[in-house]
């Protein structure tokens, strides 16, 4: 059975279902290859996987329940691969090919020509955001805690620095950025963060309010804070693709 499954590229349980169905339909060891007609193979397949009334399976139906959210993500210019990652974080597990077909059939992307935004000069700008990594044992509290990654991406080179932390406080962000400056061998003049509460106390497209402690930190290090707008991932696409 193992050899049959490996040759067919399926697991042993799946191979066994097809063999059992073929035997029930009259296949015998002594019957020879002439038994394996297209009609017979079609009957075996129908016995194992009956035709569905609709054109799609369970994965497609599962995606349909999240159609509005998928549409919003695509409108925010996220890739299908990124949409798949976000769905997986919500315990929505579907084959990548099914998701691609679902997006292609359900949503028509605009065909306007893409205008590439020029990157700043080297060493000018970094983008930063937090990403949740999972659970990790914290020896200081002697228990498992959620660990986050502060991701800092140099816009021109795409060089990425990741700092793991159990907290998302202002001091945690400062500690991570100081480690990033050491890794980059210098401070970048412009920092584009997400609207992190340790950095931005009040989001605004024109006049955001910054945390006093973080503002003093930026002034002491000599960089400008240019916070991204709320729900505008294209304001920081270099780091957004990494989260």
Pair (201, 228) in one structural domain: yes
Pair (133, 207) in one structural domain: yes
170 inside domain:
yes
What are residue 144's DSSP bridge partners?
Answer: 137
List, for residues 173-196, the tens digit of each pLDDT value.
999 999 999 999 999 998 888 878
Pair (78, 169) in one structural domain: no
Pair (134, 225) in one structural domain: yes
113 inside domain:
no
List, for residues 68-77, the tens digit of each pLDDT value.
999 888 888 8
Pair (157, 214) in one structural domain: yes
Query: Does residue 137 contact residue 143 with C-beta atoms inside 8 Å?
Result: yes
* Mean pLDDT calculated for residue range 99-124: 71
What are residue 148's DSSP bridge partners?
Answer: 132, 165
- Longest CA span, the chain: 85
**Parent domain of 11:** 2-48
Give residue 34's pLDDT.
83
pLDDT at 60 over 60: yes
List, for residues 119-174, the tens digit of each pLDDT value.
667 888 888 888 888 888 888 888 889 999 898 988 888 888 999 999 889 999 99
Pair (183, 215) in one structural domain: yes
117 inside domain:
no
Residue 233 φ then ψ, to 5°: -60, -20
Within 8 A by CB and 6+ apart from 156, the residues are: 119, 120, 121, 122, 123, 124, 125
CA distances from 227 to 81, 127, 200, 209, 223 (A): 26, 9, 8, 10, 12
Could you give the CA distance from residue 18 to residue 15 in angstroms, rounded to a whole number? 5
């Amino acid at each position: 059975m193992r050899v049959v499954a490996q040759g067919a590229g399926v697991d042993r349980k799946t191979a066994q279902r097809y063999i059992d169905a073929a035997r029930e339909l009259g296949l015998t060891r002594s019957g020879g290859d002439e038994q394996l007609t297209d009609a017979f193979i079609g009957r075996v397949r129908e016995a194992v996987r009956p035709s569905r009334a609709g054109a799609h399976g369970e994965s497609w139906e599962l995606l349909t329940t999240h159609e509005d959210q998928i549409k919003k993500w695509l409108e925010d210019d996220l890739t299908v691969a990124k949409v798949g990652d976000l769905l997986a974080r919500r315990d929505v597990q579907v084959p990548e090919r099914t998701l691609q077909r679902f997006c292609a059939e359900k949503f028509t992307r605009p065909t306007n020509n893409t205008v590439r935004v020029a990157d700043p000069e080297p060493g000018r700008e970094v983008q930063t955001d937090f990403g949740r990594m999972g659970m990790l044992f914290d020896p200081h509290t002697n228990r498992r805690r959620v660990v986050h990654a502060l991701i800092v991406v140099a816009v021109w080179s795409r060089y990425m620095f990741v700092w793991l932390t159990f907290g998302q406080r202002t001091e945690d962000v400062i500690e991570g950025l100081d480690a990033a400056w050491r890794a980059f061998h210098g401070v970048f003049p412009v920092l584009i963060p997400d609207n992190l509460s340790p950095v931005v106390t009040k989001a605004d497209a024109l006049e955001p309010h910054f945390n006093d402690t973080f503002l003093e930190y930026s002034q002491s290090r000599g960089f400008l804070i240019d916070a991204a707008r709320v729900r505008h991932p294209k304001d920081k696409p270099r780091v957004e693709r990494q989260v």
